[in-house]
């Protein structure tokens, strides 16, 4: 681990509780594309600006009205500074939003799904005034340590990978991978290494005596 990576890990250890985890559907939420036109409903205002937690799907208002998502948990997605955001009072019912910096949008507090350039936060900085993960400037670093939900998810993955090193290519988009799966891969690799190991010779080979 490099000195920079070690410093980031130490910062994360200070601000993220040891047993902090996110539900699996959060990874799906962060991977979805919103505000495209709904392919099912060719109507006005048919943007895909809803996320169904139960179905792990982006939907429009008409999908919800049709009754296809009755009794499902639905999040409404909004746009702020050309980024996807959710109302704080909605998302905090489902996940731990502690240390994630909120933003004011139409007189309501919102959280950004991904890093949001705002109030100069587009520039990367060093020190305690920056997001622990993406190094964007925070407007209130004394209270918050992440500029988006994605950054806190990444921080938890960093903590997990420091205990269980992930397979090559595992990143934020792989947030559905659990620790048990990583441990299973490690066990398989260890078994393969044992099978492929050659036995060492016993003793020192000697030539037959000459007469």
Q: What is the pLDDT along the chain (211 residues), one digit of tens a residue?
A: 444 445 555 555 555 555 567 888 999 999 999 999 999 999 999 999 999 999 999 999 999 988 888 889 999 999 988 899 999 999 999 999 999 999 999 889 999 999 976 545 455 555 668 898 888 888 888 899 999 999 999 988 877 776 555 444 444 444 343 334 444 544 545 555 555 544 444 454 444 444 3
Query: Is the pTM value of this prediction over 0.85?
Result: no
3-state SS assignment for residue 143: coil
- For residues 92, 98, 99, 101, the Cα torsion angle rounded to the nearest 10 degrees is 20
Return the pLDDT at 170: 41
Return the pLDDT at 117: 67
Could you tell me which residues come within 8 angstroms of residue 53 by beta carbon, excluding any fewer than 6 positions away?
25, 29, 72, 73, 74, 75, 94
Length of the chain: 211
Alpha helices in 36-87 (DSSP H): 61-65
Answer for the pair 161, 12: CB distance below 8 angstroms, yes or no: no
Answer for the pair 153, 176: CB distance below 8 angstroms, yes or no: no
Burial of 72 (0-12, 13-18, 19+ CB in 10 A): middle
Q: Tokens at residue 146, please?
A: 């992440």
DSSP character at residue 9: H
Where do the domains of the chain lie?
Answer: 3-21+83-189
Query: HSE-up of 116 (CA within 13 Å, CB side)?
Result: 28
Return the pLDDT at 113: 96
Answer for the pair 110, 85: CB distance below 8 angstroms, yes or no: yes
Return the pLDDT at 190: 54
Return the pLDDT at 129: 82
What spatial distance separates the first Cα and last Cα of the chain, rounded to whole Å? 61
Alpha helices in the chain (DSSP H): 3-15, 25-31, 61-65, 88-91, 149-163, 179-195
Return the pLDDT at 135: 86
What long-range pairs does 180-187 form, CB within 8 A, spacing at least 24? none
């Amino acid at each position: 681990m490099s000195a920079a990576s070690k410093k980031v890990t130490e910062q994360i250890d200070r601000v993220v509780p040891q047993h902090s985890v996110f539900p699996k559907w959060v990874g799906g939420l962060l991977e979805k594309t919103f505000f495209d036109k709904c392919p099912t409903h060719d109507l006005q205002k048919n943007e895909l600006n809803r996320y169904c937690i139960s179905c792990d799907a982006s939907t429009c208002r008409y999908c919800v009205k049709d009754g296809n998502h009755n009794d499902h948990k639905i999040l409404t997605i909004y746009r702020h500074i050309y980024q996807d955001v959710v109302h704080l009072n909605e998302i905090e019912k489902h996940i731990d939003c502690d240390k994630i910096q909120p933003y004011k949008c139409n007189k309501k507090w919102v959280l950004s799904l991904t890093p949001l350039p705002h109030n100069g936060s587009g520039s990367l900085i060093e020190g305690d005034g920056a997001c622990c993960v993406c190094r964007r400037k925070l407007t209130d670093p004394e209270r918050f340590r992440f500029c988006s939900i994605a950054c806190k998810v990444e921080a938890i993955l960093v903590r997990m990978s420091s205990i269980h090193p992930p397979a090559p290519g595992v990143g934020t988009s792989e947030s559905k991978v659990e620790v048990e799966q990583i441990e299973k891969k490690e066990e398989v690799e260890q078994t393969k290494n044992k099978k492929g190991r050659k036995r060492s010779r016993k003793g020192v080979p000697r030539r037959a005596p000459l007469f």
